[in-house]
């Protein structure tokens, strides 16, 4: 029955957690013609969404607004609606705890609610990144415990009475080339029927699906992808540190190596890792590997090198200021870009936060400009506001430190007006005049 409802798109779909992952997903499901209800614990977020205001770059306000106005998308903080849903995608955060272990509290809280309203034929899909085994070790027992009896009083069975799968979200917020619909979806169901129903569901709004043998496999695929990125960024950051000592331009090295049409894929150095995925996900894998008495050395080493990059940026800034007979102590710095990557406003785990902490430690003064981040809170104590990027501002600081290479910035203009620029992203690569003022990593 669920399969039919999915195929004729009469199923009532639900998404739990309406952030960078859940909101675009909800809109994609609605675009295929399904009625969707989004649930989030954050009342402010729900109020905003009800007004058709999107907080993620991949969802335009007009699109959201039209679905909200037509009633095809509804959003709520009230979990009771789970009773009516045929499908539920869980997209809640999976951060690390203080001792860098997986923090599963958001998944557990969401699944507790799902379990409370679980009913026959419901399809539950976990999309939050997690360690291999989590869907079957944590989610499944919670659902089983709640749903002990099937309709004919026999014990309920996953794959027959309800369906459960893990399908990792692979989107990159702000990437306009690859988005939800044209990025193949990995699916690992607990049973073959769970996989089949989940695949049928995603096929309604995603061009290509790829099924794997189990949820554990799908969980591992996601961690491999993000570990691959973390390790390669760690490698290229190390190469940048070596090139610096050898007085070689690492950017020229990478561009030249990238001309090789096979066997090389360019990664670029920067001020460190940021965002909700790359700095965190590999630790889900190393944590689980420890249970198998395996110490994941690549993961730890990459993390160590990547974590050192903010300090390297500050050292570079000290060096740049010294060349002008200035010290960092009391210098006025303009931090350009505090988001963890270009063209989005996400500051989670952003290396800018660590760079700012370090320069404040050295008694420098800082201002920041980021077209996507209006305010920035440091340690929840002090809030800073993005300064308008004027010629007077750029001229009056001792150094501009580019931490995010947002496309909206005119770098030629910036260099023209700045006294000194530390460029951690090669954002100024096309600038020809005033190169003597630029120090790159």
Ligand X SMILES: NC(=O)c1ccc[n+]([C@@H]2O[C@H](COP(=O)([O-])OP(=O)(O)OC[C@H]3O[C@@H](n4cnc5c(N)ncnc54)[C@H](O)[C@@H]3O)[C@@H](O)[C@H]2O)c1
CA distance 150 to 399: 67
Interface pick for ligand X out of 2, 27, 36, 40 (rule CB under 6 A): 40
Q: Residue 55 Cβ, how far from ligand X at the closest point, in Å?
A: 8
Closest to 304 (Cα-Cα) out of 279, 329, 327: 279
Contact flag: residue 339 with ligand X (CB under 6 A):
no
Find the part of the chain contacting ligand X (CB under 6 A) among 34-42, 264-272, 357-365, 397-405. Answer: 34-42
Find the part of the chain contacting ligand X (CB under 6 A) among 7-15, 169-177, 181-189, 295-303. Answer: 169-177
Contact flag: residue 22 with ligand X (CB under 6 A):
yes
The token pair at 252 is 């020229």
CA distance 422 to 315: 11
State whether residue 208 is helix, strand or coil: coil
CA distance 174 to 427: 18
Q: Are 404 and 426 spatial neighbours (Cβ–Cβ below 8 Å)?
A: no
Q: Residue 142 Cβ, how far from ligand X at the closest point, in Å?
A: 13
Contact flag: residue 82 with ligand X (CB under 6 A):
no
Q: Residue 183 Cβ, how far from ligand X at the closest point, in Å?
A: 10
Closer Cβ to ligand X, 55 or 311, answer by number? 55
Among positions 83-102, residues that touch ligand X (CB under 6 A) are 91-94
Interface pick for ligand X out of 3, 9, 12, 41 (rule CB under 6 A): 41
CA distance 212 to 259: 34
Q: Residue 80 Cβ, how far from ligand X at the closest point, in Å?
A: 13
Closer Cβ to ligand X, 206 or 314, answer by number? 206
The token pair at 264 is 């090389």
Helix axes 351-361, 297-323, angle to 10 degrees: 50
Closer Cβ to ligand X, 56 or 328, answer by number? 56
DSSP state of 81: G
Closest to 284 (Cα-Cα) out of 166, 114, 377, 202: 166
Contact flag: residue 17 with ligand X (CB under 6 A):
yes
Interface pick for ligand X out of 8, 10, 33, 42 (rule CB under 6 A): 42
Whether 91 is catalytic is no
Continuous H helices in 208-296: 215-246, 250-257, 281-290
In which residue are the tokens 């809030």 written? 383
Interface pick for ligand X out of 7, 43, 47, 109 (rule CB under 6 A): 109
Closer Cβ to ligand X, 406 or 437, answer by number? 406
Closest to 87 (Cα-Cα) out of 179, 194, 207, 206: 194
CA distance 34 to 89: 14
Closest to 28 (Cα-Cα) out of 16, 15, 39, 40: 15
CA distance 396 to 384: 18
Contact flag: residue 123 with ligand X (CB under 6 A):
no
Interface pick for ligand X out of 186, 277, 353, 439 (rule CB under 6 A): 277
Closer Cβ to ligand X, 21 or 352, answer by number? 21
Q: Residue 427 Cβ, how far from ligand X at the closest point, in Å?
A: 22
Closer Cβ to ligand X, 93 or 371, answer by number? 93
Closer Cβ to ligand X, 226 or 317, answer by number? 226
Contact flag: residue 110 with ligand X (CB under 6 A):
yes
Contact flag: residue 305 with ligand X (CB under 6 A):
no
Closer Cβ to ligand X, 77 or 396, answer by number? 77
The token pair at 345 is 């406003």
Total number of residues that touch ligand X (CB under 6 A): 26
Q: Are 403 and 313 spatial neighbours (Cβ–Cβ below 8 Å)?
A: yes
Among positions 217-276, residues that touch ligand X (CB under 6 A) are 276
Find the part of the chain contacting ligand X (CB under 6 A) among 165-173, 195-203, 209-217, 235-243. Answer: 165-173
Among positions 363-392, residues that touch ligand X (CB under 6 A) are none
Q: Which residue's Cβ lies closest to ligand X?
A: 19
Interface pick for ligand X out of 58, 161, 169, 354 (rule CB under 6 A): 169
Whole-Å CA distances, 214 to 3, 43, 127, 189: 20, 35, 14, 6
Q: Are 50 and 43 spatial neighbours (Cβ–Cβ below 8 Å)?
A: no
CA distance 114 to 4: 22
Closer Cβ to ligand X, 114 or 394, answer by number? 114
Residue of 91, 194, 243, 277 with catalytic role: 277
| Helix H or strand E segment including 392 | helix 391-396
Query: Active-site residue numbers?
Result: 277
Instruction: Give contact residues for ligand X (rule: CB under 6 A).
Output: 16-22, 39-42, 45, 91-94, 106, 109-110, 128-129, 169, 171, 173, 276-277
């Amino acid at each position: 029955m669920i399969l039919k409802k999915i195929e004729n798109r009469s199923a009532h779909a639900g998404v739990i957690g309406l952030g960078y992952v859940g909101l675009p997903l909800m809109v994609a499901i609605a675009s295929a013609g399904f009625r969707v209800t989004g649930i989030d614990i954050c009342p402010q977020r729900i109020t905003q969404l009800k007004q058709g205001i999107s907080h993620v770059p991949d969802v335009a306000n007009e699109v959201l607004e039209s679905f909200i106005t037509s009633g095809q998308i509804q959003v709520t903080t009230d979990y009771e609606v789970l009773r009516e849903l045929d499908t539920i995608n869980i997209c809640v955060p999976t951060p690390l705890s203080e001792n860098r272990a997986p923090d599963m509290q958001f998944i557990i809280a969401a699944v507790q609610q799902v379990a409370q309203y679980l009913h026959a034929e419901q399809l539950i899909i976990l999309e939050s990144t997690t360690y291999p085994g989590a869907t079957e070790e944590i989610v499944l027992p919670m659902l089983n415990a709640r749903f002990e009896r099937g309709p004919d009083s026999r014990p309920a069975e996953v794959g027959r009475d309800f369906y459960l799968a893990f399908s990792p979200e692979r989107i990159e917020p702000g990437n306009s080339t690859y988005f939800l619909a044209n990025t193949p979806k990995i699916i690992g169901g607990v049973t073959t029927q769970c996989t089949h129903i989940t695949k049928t569901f995603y096929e309604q709004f995603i061009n290509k699906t790829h099924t794997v043998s189990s949820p554990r496999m799908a969980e591992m695929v996601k961690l491999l992808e993000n570990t691959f990125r973390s390790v390669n960024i760690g490698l290229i950051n190390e190469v940048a540190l070596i090139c610096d000592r050898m007085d070689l331009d690492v950017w020229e090295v990478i561009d030249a190596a990238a001309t090789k049409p096979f066997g090389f894929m360019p990664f670029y150095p920067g001020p460190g890792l940021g965002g909700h995925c790359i700095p965190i996900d590999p630790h889900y894998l190393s944590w689980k590997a420890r249970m198998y008495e395996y110490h994941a050395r690549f993961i730890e080493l990459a993390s160590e090198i990547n974590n050192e990059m903010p300090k390297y940026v500050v050292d570079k800034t000290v060096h740049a200021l010294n060349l002008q007979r200035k010290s960092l102590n009391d210098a006025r710095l303009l931090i350009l870009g505090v988001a963890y990557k270009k063209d989005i406003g996400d500051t989670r785990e952003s290396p800018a936060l660590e760079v700012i902490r370090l320069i404040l430690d050295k008694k420098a003064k800082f201002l920041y400009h980021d077209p996507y981040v209006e305010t920035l809170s440091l340690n929840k104590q002090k809030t800073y506001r993005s300064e308008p990027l004027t010629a007077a501002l750029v001229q009056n600081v001792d150094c501009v430190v580019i931490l995010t290479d947002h496309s909206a910035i005119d770098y030629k203009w910036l260099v023209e007006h700045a006294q000194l620029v530390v460029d951690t992203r090669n954002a100024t690569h096309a600038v020809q005049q005033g190169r003597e003022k630029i120090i790159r990593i």
